[in-house]
Amino acid sequence: MSSESISIDAYNVDDAEVRTNRIHLFLIGFLILFFELACIRWFSAYVIFLQFFTNIVLIAAFLGMSIGCVCARKETNWLARFTWLTPISIGLALGVNAVYRSFAGFSIDVGGQRDAPQVVFFGTEYRDVDLASFAIPMEVIAGLFFVLVVLMFIGAGQVLGRCFDRDPNRVKAYTSNILGSLAGILCFALASFAQTPPIVWFAVSFVAVAYFLKQERQLSLVRVALLAATAFLVFVVDLTISKDHSSYWSPYYRVVLDEKTKRINVNTLSFQGMRPVDSSGPIYSLIHLLERDAGGAPFEDVLIIGSGAGNDVAGALRQGVGHIDAVEIDPVIPQIGMAHHPARPYQDPRVDLHLNDGRNFLRETDKKYDLVVYALVDSLILHSSVSSIRLESFLFTEEAFEDVRSVLKPGGRFVAYNFFRQGWIVHRIASMLENVFGTDPVVISLTHKDTIRDTDSAQGFTVLIAGGNEALTKAFEENDAFWLNRQPSMNDGVNGFGERPPELAGAEGPDEWLRIAPSTLVASSQELGAASDNWPFLYLRDKTVPWLYVKGVLLMTVLGLALLTWQAPGHRISLNGRMFFLGAAFLLVETKAVVQLALVFGSTWIVNSLVFAAILVMILAANLYVLRVKEVNLKWHYALLFAGLALHIFVPLDAFLAGNFLWRYVGPCALALGPMFFAGVIFAVSFRASKEPDRDFGANIAGAVVGGFAEYLSMLLGFQYLLLVAMLFYGLSTLWRTGGSAATANAR
């Protein structure tokens, strides 16, 4: 690493053109960030299964901006092309959605979910790929929309590059751009809080596009009409549902309620239904009936995580529990339950609803519970667009189960149930519960299976019970089984243990009684690793990067290089090495910060928005430092950056989950965000010395694309050691000098 000292002389310009240019840098920063978030939300809502790969939309936006910066000096106006590229992209998304919904013979293969998938995606199993007339691999669908999103963002990147090229002070220009990005995040967060529909997001974005087209004298009636027609299409599609359906936009999903069937869909996938618990859905009362008939009293204090529209709450209330704390991360789903659930469980005075991340609630509460329930906790969405973990991932780690155990009363019970799809997922959860609670959990499969092998596929509904199971275990040992009627009211006054009860009036045949008994877990020779806060991948079979992701990365790399070569000057890719590797490294550091702070503060959309805003604030602080300090020695800033990253690697993710205020909140923020300040200083100094700011900024964003692909290595390394890859990238960045020549450069 070379020792570089940059002498700074303040540069102040009052020229009206410079001031206007910086306003434009602010506005283009706002537009890019706001429209990027809008695309992530909208395309994941309408392109089937894309909600599991929203980082692809983010990477595509980065690449589009990079290409736009690289071709900023070309006469071709890509922002004008945006006016017809966007309706094409939205139209194709709606077309794929319509074909999938209308033709049962069309299927999308998401990593072979019917066979032995390396990674499981809930909701993908409803259409059998083997029986379809034709099936398209998910990576092809992802590749198509990757290219479309790239093309949409080239125009904004071109405006950004031209604005940078016109500004005499790179750092002040970058500061204006970052302020615009910060405004974009905060405004989109407000739009999410208000649960605004997509017409609002696209209207705001299109007005900004029209403004820039007008500034470049490229705004015509035809282009205005195209933008208006696209916004109208988004509006109409959101309203075009049957008379029995209602559409909502939560901060996480597009939520559609079938008011007739009480069924809720999110982002094109079936999510949950609202059951009249007196006549259906006996599973919601199962743990309470088992407790009753094993000789116990009704649970007094119950915590339900993932309470959704209220089925589990209604089932518990029906069995006479004393008090329920219901935790749900999505604000819209409980609102629907309050208005439409036949049992009105959330209106019961015994229920307190908490809109929070379940893991955060477990750590923050000072209450103790007789029963903690994970109620069909499956989010069907990623935690954020910069990582591959899902919204519920931090609930299914050994550390999370330790948090559950800590809030249980002596003899308290923990229950988790879901359609876990694969036997090895059941085995992994059971193994973690055994490690935490010290005894084997009771595992129940519906319909009953004597054994559950880790090699079993298409695993049915499974219930895992851990904690104070002595009375329950004894009851199963003394009786052949527990009998549960499909109609909950039929279980009233009947002891389910013992011989099968006779058919009762109202039952519709022998299949109405379900045999409930523990299943034996039979493991193969292949060992399963536990999910942890460092490696929170419950649905990933092994510590590896699945072939599905590898194929996707290879495809998008080829497509990205082709697009970049197509638009690069002379069709030759020439990138500033320092800026490129700074971008790649920063994306990984950002990912680690988002993941760690989500673990500390909760995985809610509000926390994510605040974390991204805090990252931009750190960049602003770095810019102000560079503008004010006379000399900046990059040698020391690189040293402090590496020291901060090394410390971040050796301090475990869960080190801050207990302790006083400074340790729990200030400590993790300093650890996660501190290295970003030094990285920001290095970038600002390097960017200030740039002779071609448009292309060098494009190189930095291109590096972020590589960093986005490198994030998949977290599936192999875990998030702690992902920073080793970031340190490698930062090390490579030292091989290039600022400005490509002199070691010392003066501020312009």
pLDDT tens digit string along 411-451? 999 999 998 889 999 999 999 999 999 999 999 998 889 99
Average pLDDT, rounded, for the chain: 89
Residue 148 has pLDDT above 70, yes or no: yes
pLDDT tens digit string along 514-545? 889 999 999 887 788 899 999 999 999 999 99
pLDDT at position 12 is 44
Enumerate residues 6+ apart whose C-beta is below 8 A from 361.
Answer: 303, 305, 325, 327, 354
For tokens 């909502």, name the residue: 248
Q: Among 645, 641, 591, which residue's Cα sits nearest to residue 389? A: 591
For residues 662-684, average pLDDT: 89
Instruction: Please say whether the beta carbons of 89 and 35 come within 8 A.
Output: no
Burial status of residue 181 (CB atoms within 10 A of its CB: 0-12, 13-18, 19 or more): buried
Whether residue 407 sits in one domain with residue 480: yes
539 in any annotated domain = no
Confidence of residue 547 (pLDDT cuts 50, 70, 90): very high
Residue 747 has pLDDT above 60, yes or no: no
pLDDT at position 667 is 84
Whether residue 317 sits in one domain with residue 465: yes
Whether residue 676 sits in one domain with residue 565: yes
Distance CA 594, CA 708 (A): 13
Whether residue 710 sits in one domain with residue 604: yes
Distance CA 453, CA 443 (A): 12
Enumerate residues 6+ apart whose C-beta is below 8 A from 236.
Answer: none
Q: Answer with the one of 458, 488, 522 that is the final residue of a domain.
A: 522
Residue 13 has pLDDT above 70, yes or no: no
pLDDT tens digit string along 184-237? 999 999 999 999 999 999 999 999 999 999 999 999 999 999 999 999 999 998
User: Cα torsion for 401, 404, 409, 414, to the nearest 10°?
Assistant: -70
Question: Which stretches of 201-277 are assigned E, i.e. beta strand?
Answer: 245-249, 254-258, 263-266, 269-273
pLDDT at position 91 is 95
Map residue 323 onto helix, strand or coil. Answer: strand
Burial status of residue 171 (CB atoms within 10 A of its CB: 0-12, 13-18, 19 or more): buried
Give how far Cα 130 sits from Cα of 108, 109, 133, Å: 11, 9, 8
Q: What percent of the chain has pLDDT over 90?
A: 66
711 in any annotated domain = yes
Beta bridge mates, 355: 328
For residues 675-696, average pLDDT: 93
Element (H or E) spanning 703, and its range? helix 693-710
Instruction: Please say whether the beta carbons of 142 and 552 come within 8 A.
Output: yes
Give how far Cα 26 sits from Cα of 30, 164, 175, 514, 625, Å: 6, 11, 8, 63, 20
pLDDT at position 599 is 87
pLDDT tens digit string along 556-597? 999 999 999 999 888 888 889 999 999 999 999 999 999 888
For tokens 């690449």, name the residue: 63
CA distance from start to end of the chain: 25
215 in any annotated domain = yes
pLDDT tens digit string along 364-423? 999 999 999 999 898 788 888 888 899 899 999 999 999 999 999 999 999 999 988 899
pLDDT tens digit string along 595-636? 888 888 888 989 999 999 999 999 999 999 999 987 889 999
Distance CA 358, CA 395 (A): 7
Distance CA 205, CA 234 (A): 13
719 in any annotated domain = yes
Q: Among 277, 273, 251, which residue's Cα sits nearest to residue 330? A: 251
249 in any annotated domain = no
Q: How many CA atoms, within 13 angstroms, populate the side-chain half-sphere of residue 111? A: 24
pLDDT tens digit string along 58-85? 999 999 999 999 999 988 899 999 999 9
Whether residue 95 sits in one domain with residue 25: yes
Burial 493-514 (b: 16+ CB within 10 A, else e): ebebbeeeeeeeeebeeeebbb
Whether residue 233 sits in one domain with residue 120: yes
Confidence of residue 493 (pLDDT cuts 50, 70, 90): confident
Q: Among 573, 572, 692, 685, which residue's Cα sits nearest to residue 635? A: 685
Whether residue 202 sits in one domain with residue 55: yes
pLDDT at position 738 is 65
Whether residue 467 sits in one domain with residue 335: yes
Map residue 101 onto helix, strand or coil. Answer: helix
658 in any annotated domain = yes
pLDDT at position 643 is 96
Confidence of residue 129 (pLDDT cuts 50, 70, 90): low
Confidence of residue 268 (pLDDT cuts 50, 70, 90): confident
DSSP notation for 369-436:
EEEEEEES---SSBS-TT-S-BTTGGGSSHHHHHHHHHTEEEEEEEEEEEEEEEHHHHHHHHHHHHHH
Q: Answer with the one of 461, 490, 522 that is the final residue of a domain.
A: 522
Residue 507 has pLDDT above 50, yes or no: no
260 in any annotated domain = no
Q: 746: which DSSP letter?
A: -
pLDDT at position 106 is 82
Burial 613-625 (b: 16+ CB within 10 A, else e): ebbbebbbebbeb
Whether residue 324 sits in one domain with residue 186: no
Which position has the higher pLDDT, 642 or 670? 642
Whether residue 190 sits in one domain with residue 289: no
How far is C-alpha 716 from the chain's CA centre?
A: 18
CATH number (domain holding residue 583) = 1.20.1250
Instruction: Please say whether the beta carbons of 321 and 303 come within 8 A.
Output: no
748 in any annotated domain = no
For tokens 């439409």, name the residue: 340
Q: What are phi and psi of 458, to 5 degrees?
A: 50, 45
DSSP notation for 275-296:
--TTTS-GGGGHHHHHHHHTTP
pTM: 0.92
Distance CA 451, CA 428 (A): 15
Instruction: Please say whether the beta carbons of 676 and 730 come within 8 A.
Output: no
Give how far Cα 596 sits from Cα of 108, 208, 337, 642, 715, Å: 33, 34, 32, 18, 16
Alpha-carbon radius of gyration of the chain: 28
> How many folded domains does the chain comprise?
2
Q: What are phi and psi of 320, to 5 degrees?
A: 85, 25
Q: Among 406, 257, 389, which residue's Cα sits nearest to residue 334? A: 257
pLDDT at position 511 is 63
Whether residue 595 sits in one domain with residue 467: no
Instruction: Please say whether the beta carbons of 14 and 636 come within 8 A.
Output: no
Residue-number span of the structural domain to which 483 is assigned: 272-378+398-501+509-522
Whether residue 491 sits in one domain with residue 617: no
Residue 503 has pLDDT above 70, yes or no: no
Residue 8 has pLDDT above 50, yes or no: no
Enumerate residues 6+ apart whose C-beta is below 8 A from 138.
Answer: 49, 53, 108, 109, 110, 111, 548, 552
Q: Within 10 Å of residue 448's Cβ, how many Cβ atoms?
A: 14
Enumerate residues 6+ apart whose C-beta is below 8 A from 377.
Answer: 305, 306, 358, 392, 395, 396, 416, 418
CATH number (domain holding residue 356) = 3.40.50.150
Distance CA 229, CA 196 (A): 19
pLDDT tens digit string along 83-96? 999 999 999 999 99
Residue 502 has pLDDT above 80, yes or no: no
Confidence of residue 2 (pLDDT cuts 50, 70, 90): very low
